[in-house]
Each structure stands twice: as C-alpha cells, then as structure tokens.
Chains A and B, each alone.
Chain A
Amino acid sequence: MSTAASPADVEEFLDGAARARRTGRVDPVLLSGCVIVGFFIVCAIFAPWIAPHDPDFQQADGLNGIGPWAPFDSSYLLGTDELGRDYLSRLIYGARVAIFIAIVPNAIAMVIATLVGVSAGYFRGRVDTILMRITETVMVLPAFLLALALISVAGSGLWVVVIALVLVSWTYAARVVYGEVLRIREATFIEAARALGASSWRIIFRHVIPQLRGLLVTYFTLNAAFMVLTEAGLGFLGFGIQPPTPSWGAMIGASRDLLFWPWLIILPGVCLALLGMGFYLLGEGLQRRFGPRVPTARL
C-alpha cells in the first residue's frame, strides 16, 4: 500500500533543508538517520568482535532456577534467552540478518523496478500498457500472504526468502521510477540526444538512468525499512531466515508465548523499530536534501 506524504511535509522539509544549507549545519533528521543506520551496520560487520559471547552457545550458567536471566541481573548484560544463550550477542548477530535483508533483496527489487519502469516509461505504447497493468495488478494483491504461500511450498531457504521479499516490493518502486521516467523523457536534453542520432539504448543508459540516481537511492533507503519489517513478520511466523541464525523477527516469534519473560520480546522489537526508524529518517533526510518526494510503502 502506498501513502503519499502531503505537500506540507515537502515545504516543511524543503524549509529545513534550505535552513540547514544556509547555516551550514547538518540536518538533524539526516544526521539521526545516519547515526542509527550506521550503528547497526557497524554491529553487523563487526559482530564477532563486539558480541561478548557466541550467540548460539547455550551457556552452562545461562539459566537460573526458574528460567532465563533478566537483563542486568547476571554477567549477561541483557540477560539470556529460554535456552540460556546470551541475548546481547544474539541481538548483535541479528543485525547481520537485518542489514543483509535491507540490502540484497532490496537491490534486486530496485534493478527489476528500474528495468520495468524505464522500459514502460521510455518506450510507451503497448509495452507501457502491458508492463504497468501487470505492475499495478501485482501491487494490489495480498503480497504478504502470497509470500507466505511461496515460502511454505518452496521451503524457507535464504534465497526463497529473498525472492519472496523481492516479489512483494518491486512494484511500488517500479511505479515511482515509471512516473519519473515519464517526466525525464520530455526533457530538452533527451530531445537533443535524439537529434544527435543517439540510439534508444544509449539515451536510456547514458541519460535517463543517471537522472534516476537520486530517486533510486532515496527509495532504496525507504524500502530498506519495509524489507526489514517484512522479513521480521515472516520470521515471526517461522517463515523467515531459519534458526539457529539469530533474526530479530524469529526471536520474537520464538518467545511469543513466554510473556513471563517480556524482555525476550521487547528487546528484538526495539532493535527492529530503531532500525526501521533509522531507515525512514535517512530516507526523509535524503529527500529533504536532494530530491523528489517518494511515496513509501508500509506494512
């Protein structure tokens, strides 16, 4: 589902961005987005060095008499899970899955969206009708349910999950790219290139796609939040990246009946919400600074 942000937001943002440029100060939205996302990327890359314990190792003293350790109660800073594994380490390793999901299926979806959007928008005519009809139709289908069905049939291997995530997200991006290409193709420099005798392919690759860069970067960032949250939803139902690989959504799913130990549910959710928010803020900040408004998808 896509929800366009209102023009008031645009003004507000443009104002903020203009002020930031004038005063030479950094836009707080962009900065906070960078800090949050950067933090999780560092966690993901350096997980083996940052994490105090092996995330999959069931510690000998990982459980007290009645269950896992609560946060700040033992030598395990954020407590342990129901199997006595260090929770902080699992959360840090969970960042790896989240960042992977934010980048890989997202990038594939962007490539597909660019191919579809540019072909439809540049060539128009029949290609346009067929491609955009398909895009709009796939867009309104209950994507999450179809992704679940696909994973249940094909098994929840890493790449099946990636494909499912690509399937649920490429359409929104394709439509955004399409709209932008419709605008670009009317520009004078495209006409000039055509007058000089450049081929369609040359125009597309040398003139149209470079113009899309800002839009794609912004959309990539916003869509990253959508990807992470969707994978978390799949993981929660047991259809995401499979255990023992720690994934925040799956960690919440594993603890959903353990309401006696609420931190097992709260902590991974806080990580998810923070990362999701970080991506949104980063995307908003990029828009304020560089570019066109992009409608965002939400769960």
Chain B
Amino acid sequence: MEIFNIKNLSFTYNTSDKKAVNSINMTVSSGDFLLVIGQSGCGKTTLLKMLKKELTPFGKKEGEIFYKGKNIELLNERESAQSIGFIMQDPDSQIVTDKVYSELAFGLENLGYDKEVIRAKVSEFASCFGFLESFDSSVDKLSGGEKQMLNLASVMALNPEVIILDEPTSMLDPISANDFFSTLKRINNDFGTTVIISEHHLQEVFHLADRVVCLENGEITALDTPKNVCKSLKGKKIMKTLPAPARVFNSVKAYGECPITVKEGRKMLSSIALNRNKISSEELKNDDVILSCKNIWFRYERKSKDILKNCSFNVNKGEFYALLGENGCGKSTLLNIINGSLKPYRGKIKCDLKSAYLPQNPKNVFVKDTLEQDFKMIDNSYLELSEQFGLSDFLKTHPYDLSGGELQRASICKILLSNPDILLLDEPTKGLDTFAKINLGSFLKQLCKKGLTIVMVTHDVEFSAEFSDRCGLLFDGGITSENSVREFFSQNIFYTTSASKMSKGMIENAVTADDIIGCING
C-alpha cells in the first residue's frame, strides 16, 4: 500500500525566484525505510516539511501530495497530527515540557485521550525507549542523545503510520547517533512504521535504508536501493558523502554489487589486485613545543571524581592536533583548562602565546545584528581577513542567517581578529555536512601552514584522519595513545575510520578512502 504519492511537486519560497523543490514524482510504500540524501540547500528539508501539512513553509506550491490516496491539503488536523510524525535537528528546542513523562504524554493530551489511555501508552513507550530510570526526572538532566530519543519516543506514542526525520543526528555524538539509528530500524522492523529520513552522515544509516533518494538543486537525480544508487552516482560530487567502501568501489575497476558496509568492503578489497600494500608514514620533525600540559589533575568539586588524572601532552608550533575521546571523558574540560577558564588543582600548563577559544555552538560567538558589527567589536581592520575567509558578501547579514558552514567560518574569522597564535576548537564539525567539513578542514590546514597552531577536540574520526597532523586519545583522565595521524588510526582497531577498518591487514597504514584508492590504482 502506498503511504505517500507525490505528483509533479514544485515549491518556490517567497524570498527567491529559484525553485527549492522541482517537479518531484515519487511514491513511498508502507513500511519503507527511505533515506533522502543531498548537499545542504538541495531541498531536502523543504521536501520533508511539505509532507507534513502543518509545517509546510510559506511560498508557492505546485503539484500534489497524496497521503493514502487523500490529498494532504484535505487531511483533517487530527488525522495529520496522529499519523504523520515529524522530528527535527535540534534536540533541545523540540522538547516542550519539563519532565520526561509529561513530554511523552504531550501529543496524547493534545489529541484529547483519557487519562487511563495516556497512562497505558506512556508507560509502554517509556519502557520501549529506555526511559524507566529517568521517567520522572527533569528534561534538562538528559544528554543530547537521550533528548533526541525522547523526541522520537513522544512522537511514537501517537502510533503514527509514518515518521519523517530531518537530520535527526547532526547534533549528536557518533555513539548516540548509532543508538538512534538502530532504534529507528527497530521501529521500522517491529511496528512496520514507515520511515523517511534525511541525513548527512551516511556511514551508519546507509545500509539500513530500503531505498535512497538523491536530490540535487531540488530535483531527483537517483531513486533506488542503496547499492544501485551508489552505482548510479558514480562520478558525481555527492559521491564524497557516501560510505568509504562505496567510494572505493566507484573509483576503481570493480565488478558486481556495490559494497556499503565494512564487511562487504573487505570482501571486495580481498578480491581485487593491489598495486601497493603499504603507505609510508611520514615522520613529524617539528618539535618546537609551544603548549605543554604537565601532570594535570582536575575535578569539578571537592568531593567529586577526578576528571583528569595526571594528564600530560605537548603541542608543537604550526601543528593541527586532534584530541579524541568518548562523551564525558574530559575533552572539553581539558580545553577549558588550556584556555584558562578552569584551574587544575595540580600540574602545570605552559603556554606563553596568546590563545583563542571557539565554543561548540558557533552562534555563541556572535552578539550583534550583523557580522560587520561583531567584527568591529574585536578589531576595526577586519576587511582583509573577512575577504580571506570569503565573507565579504555577508558583512551586512545577521549571523544566524548564515548556513552552518558559513557560520563556522565566520566565527573562526572573528576569533582570529584578535591575532592569536593558538586556536582551540571544540567540536568544530558538529552539524556540518560533508562538503562544509571538507571546506573547513582544508581551510584550517591552510591556517596551519601560515603558522597558526590548532588544538581541536572532536568525536569525528573521519575528519581528524583526513586533516589533522597528530592525534591523541583521552581516556580515564589521561592521554592513553598519541601518535601522528596515520600511525594513530592504523594502530587503533575500534577507534578509527571505516577505511582503516576496511583495509586492516591488507593495506598497511591506509586511513582514508583516498588512501585505498591510491593503493589500488597505483
């Protein structure tokens, strides 16, 4: 049975002449897991929002959308609220009430169910989604991942036919994101709920999908099973966002089905001839230490646990240092100690040069109405730097109106206006799509070449593998392994990139998909 039937759908925003969504035709069947991919601004969000009547943006709409054979415009409000669920990016702002149980009940209250019915459903979904422990706790005690899971649970409590998710994991760390996806797959398998999801980070979700639709400039460029979509996207720009095995497959002479998981990738790799099976690792000669932490001990309260225990590390001049580790391992704490917000109770930090700190949310850097005013706060000679950053056209724009990548760039620009020697970044790739990440990475590398030193705290292994010079893993309050980027990732088994996992034992020292492709093609 078909859930959605989209006929010749186009949409133009009031503020622009270009069609955000252009003559889309497709059907979604009941029980489908449909993945929507495409570069930022390709019309993913617009398309998804149009599937939910209440969220349709203002603008000119052409064509029709049918939900179960009924035009979506004619769907009554109750039916729409109940059967089509919608989940957005930001885990915090979607939550309405103050307690976990009341959030779970929110939708059911709106639909006017009896207390007893609500009680039964709320308890059922609290146990299904793992909220038994935190059932009566405040929402602000939950982590980002738990908050997004709560949003999913409270939508599922209405027992919808279809749930639509617009980049639900872009603000989550990889482990929470993975949890979220497996829960989503479970919902799809166990309840037969139709899932329509758009995502940037495809590694973990690509193989879960039944069908993938790729959008470019508002038009469908591919619509098929994941494996076939990978094949048909060969040579296109969007290729860069696909999982590493698929990228390798498309860049070398290989036959058969396109691999999309590490397992399938290893199978493919073992069946094709390699030109080289080793990548030499370059020595890092630079040892001009400009920042050193020695035996740092830190705890937040007198009687609390130690967050950092005997933590030592050095950063050299002009280096791009990535500090990796799980949630709550003390990465951000360490960064705050380096920038001077927190004081360790034992140990020494030696840093003679000026440092600047970029918080996790780049919005927090801006407090004025235009970029120009914000830049002027720091220094009046901002023109040259903002041109280097490609921000000249945005000087009169409100910071919040910039896209994720632009905002991140602008925030770095503002921070650099004070002429620091060391840049401290806290999760700079959070919420960025693959292309914005590549831009940011090469941009940061350029800054390093000019003599800036960067210390970055991140979850993003793929990003650090591609762009950083040296990596350290923070665990149990100390740096447990530290090495140049290639050695670091090729020695790790779990905490490494999928390309490294895929080529382990076959190609020495390969950490990115490009490394593998280089070895195959010679």
- Same complex for A and B? Answer no
User: Residues on B close to A: CB < 8 A?
Assistant: none
